[in-house]
Structure 1
Amino acid sequence: MGRSGGLDFMWKKEIDCTLKSASVHHIDIGVREGEMEWRVTGFYGWPAVGDRHLSWELLRLLNGQSDLPWVCIGDFNEILFSTEMKGGSRAQWQMNNFQAAVDDCGLRDIGWKGYPFTWDNGQVGEANRQCMLDRAMCTNSRPDIFPYAKIVHLDREWSDHAPIKLIFDKRVTGVEAKRGFKFEQAWLGEEGCEEAVWRGVSKGRGGLGEALKHCARELQAWKKNGI
């Protein structure tokens, strides 16, 4: 659209991609990898607050067009929580509307690494505003399709937005990504759980963070080896 914006989608020729639909606010692509098929949508939310409801209508419309595992990534021009903004404030109803659309679509945020705020208004001092407007989300229905997916916030240079990079591979910048530790409530009733926790706490002499890491390791060893 001249020199003022627009959407572009590019892929390597060896990747089997099919255009599903497109507008000035989205590009929806089907991806086939062997027997697995999923879809990715590049999304650009309406920038004006008065038009923001159109973003959520489009998100719900896209959600209803397929039951394939889905990744939706882009500039949503909105935040989900007040902690995603630095400087200034956001009306709660704006965030509530975004949250409702995300819930209706069964989407979950993909974890990210880097500086949290992807947009900066370029002002200094008290006038500076920063937000996490750019993100990637995927459907909860098939989390096994994207077990290692994560977003990396890259450095912001010439734009007011920082580029975000979605990585699906097990290896992120040469380091294998590991599944995050998850404590199961049912463990509390099992023999040996409490002892594993106390072993971890006793090793964590570097503060709470170290204690939690040791607790996770002890619990994982307990579940795997029964110790």
Structure 2
Amino acid sequence: MNCLSLNCRGLGNLDAVGGLRNLIRREAPAIVFLCETKLGSRDMNKIISKLVGYKGVSVDCVGRSGGLAFLWREEVSCTFRASTVHFMDFDVEHEGMTWRCTGFYGWPAVQDRHLSWRQLRLLAAEGGGPWLCLGDFNEVLFSTEMKGGTRAQWQMNNFRDAVDEIGLGDLPFEGYMYTFDNGQEGLDNRQCRLDRAMVNEGWRDLFPYAKLIHLDREWSDHAPIKVVFDGRNGAELRGTKKFRFEHIWVGEDGCEEAVRAGVGKGDGELLGSIEGCAKELVEWKGISIGRILRELNKKRRYLKKLNEGDRGPWQVKERRRVVGEISQLLRKEERFWRQRSRAIWLKDGDRNTAFFHRKAGQRKRKNFIAKLVDSSGRVVDNTAAISACAVEYFRNLFSTDSPSGIEEAVRG
């Protein structure tokens, strides 16, 4: 299970909405908190309705700023507590555990920042047991959480005093420290850690292996943050991949030539032509369409480097170019998941990648062995132990300690 939080900086254009859908598809969060949607509830609810498998509520923006949304997967139970234009508060129940989750958006103006800390204290006074509070606090705790610019010490002190008083502390995080970048060049560039996830001791006891991951910025000037409830690494069993013709190959340079070459190797035989096509497409895929998903990962790694460090004119321009190329690749990736889902009754223009990925993910989960119980009743959940348990089971199934009547069985 994991939770996601992002300052969207507006969801009024298709690229931002597409980026959000792709982010949710990639990370598969159980809970999502969004701030600065800059949308009214009606428009935000339209976006939520196309995220298949999710429910959600939203808070209207004020003029052209603000706007919040809180989303959760259907299998998670979320009970509304309260909300304003600066927070959304829920009780969460999942897999027998109950805890409190608050999405928080701090006052952006310095002169109003004291209202953020007052609001946090009021929320803490309501109690509620294990508590996770995440979002954009619009403030840093320490000067080391800034790169470029200055900040008055009293601002940071007030934030620290508030969270110390109410018993909230940071989760350990991974990734680039600064979650916000103003996108300016050179000496005008400002980076800081405004987005964070804080928990009380009760929540930390409930999820002792939890950690926070700072994901990479794409269309927003804020990085998404993801709370992983169990940060321990798991294991997975993988089989040999079958050949499948991918719909995203159609129209790509080289695809038609590969098919023609494959048909020519069949010598007029249907099965031979099919085999020939498969072989030619596999070879072509390695140097052509197969690069689409690899290129997406490559560009995200490059974007990660551009998101870090100083901001010269070239770096700002290059980042915009890379973000545009990522958007184009995401459209191709959407077609890929559409075919994998086998849900071909939806139109190509629905742009509902989350639904397609969920359908494909359901099939993958059916074929995935997460754990087994061995002959001694012990649960095993790592790759080597699962393999050994399966081999032992079938060896015992097809053998016996004292076989008898073998000759009769052989003679029939």
Equivalent residue for 2:210? 149
- Residue 61 (1) aligns with residue 122 (2): yes
Matches within 5 A, 1:186-225: none
Q: When you count strand as a share of all residues, which structure comes out higher?
A: 1
CA contact (8 A) 2:99 2:203 kept: no
AA partner of residue 135 (structure 1): R
For 2:132 and 2:140, how far apart are their aligned partners in 1? 18
Query: Please, which runs of 5 or more residues in structure 2 have no aligned partner?
Result: 1-37, 40-63, 236-412
Of residues 172, 182, 186, the one that matches 1:111 is 172
Q: Secondary structure of the residue that 2:161 maps to in structure 1?
A: helix
Percent of residue pairs identical: 62
Aligned counterparts of 2:212 and 2:130: Cα–Cα separation in 1: 17
Counterpart AA for 1:144:
D
**Which structure 1 residue ranges, 4+ long, deviate > 4 Å from structure 2?**
none
Q: How far does residue 89 in structure 1 lie from its aligned partner after superposition? A: 1.2
Which amino acid in the other structure matches residue 110 of structure 1?
Answer: L
1:159 aligns with 2:220: yes
Deviation, 1:170, is 4.1
CA offsets 1:62-121 (integer angstroms, 9 cap, x no match)? 001114110000000000000000011110000000001001110110111100000011
- Partners of 1:155 and 1:141 lie apart in 2 by 30
The AA in structure 1 aligned to 2:142 is F
The within-5 A match list for 1:79-98 is 79-98=140-159
1:125 aligns with 2:186: yes
Counterpart of 1:16? 77
- Using the size of structure 2 for normalisation, the TM-score is 0.41
Q: Could you tell me how far 1:140 is from its partner in structure 2?
A: 2.1
Q: Hey, what's the Cα distance between the residues in 2 that align with 1:142 and 1:164?
A: 18
Aligned match of 1:44: 105
SS at match of 1:32: strand
The number of aligned residues is 175
Residues 140 and 194 of structure 2 are in contact (CA less than 8 Å); yes or no, is this contact kept in structure 1? yes
Unaligned 5+ residue runs, structure 1?
176-227
Structure index of larger Rg: 2
> What SS does the corresponding residue of 1:96 show, helix, strand or coil?
helix
Deviations 1:165-202, CA, capped at 9 Å, x for gaps = 11112445x57xxxxxxxxxxxxxxxxxxxxxxxxxxx
Q: Which amino acid aligns with 1:37?
A: T
Q: Which amino acid aligns with 2:71?
A: M
Q: Is residue 2:197 matched to residue 1:136?
A: yes
Q: Deviations over 1:121-156 (max 9, x none)?
A: 111111111000000000024531121111111111
Give 1:34 shift. Answer: 4.8
3-state SS of paired residue (1:61): helix
Q: Counterpart of 1:10 in structure 2: which amino acid?
A: L
SS for the counterpart of 1:9 is strand
Any conservation in 1 of the 2:211–2:231 contact (CA below 8 Å)?
A: no
Pair 169,141 (structure 1): closer, same or farther in 2 beyond 3 Å: closer
Q: Which residue of 1 aligns with 2:16?
A: none
Instruction: Write the distance in 2 (CA, Å) between the matches of 1:141 and 1:13.
Output: 25
Q: Deviations over 1:206-227 (max 9, x none)?
A: xxxxxxxxxxxxxxxxxxxxxx
Q: TM-score under structure 1 normalisation? A: 0.73
Residues 115 and 170 of structure 1, relative CA distance in 2, 3 Å threshold: closer
Measure how far apart 1:4 and its partner are.
4.1
* Matched-pair contact (CA < 8 Å) for 2:179–2:194: yes
d(CA) in 1 for partners of 2:231, 2:149: 38
Which amino acid in 2 is paired with 1:148?
Y
Aligned to 1:75: 136
